[in-house]
Amino acid sequence: MSLRELYDRYLAAWAGRDPDAIVALHADQTTFWLHDGRPACFDCMDLVTVTDDWRVARKDTFVDGAQFLRALGG
């Protein structure tokens, strides 16, 4: 699988709100964090580390903290 194919599968899984497909793309030791569901719009960047077999081992999201707080009304 190429990096582009991984990206396309990951994007499709999230866009389709398919938790089984999302989990299938992650390494066994992945930890998921629940969000509170409030809609918010802010700039962020994801840094994704993958295993040799192209499963997501870690995904870190870096956000514009001030913009994030404003988006949540803080």
**Residue-wise pLDDT tens digits, 2-54:** 888 988 998 999 899 898 898 888 888 777 765 677 777 778 888 989 899 88
pLDDT on residue 34: 58
pLDDT on residue 16: 93
Beta carbons within 10 angstroms of residue 71's beta carbon: 16
pLDDT on residue 12: 95
Buried-exposed string 1-11: b where 16+ CB fall within 10 A, e elsewhere: eeeeebeebbe
Q: How far apart are CA 8 and CA 10, in angstroms?
A: 6
Q: Which residue has the tokens 């949540």?
A: 72
Q: CB under 8 Å to 64, separation ≥6 — which residues?
A: 42, 43, 44
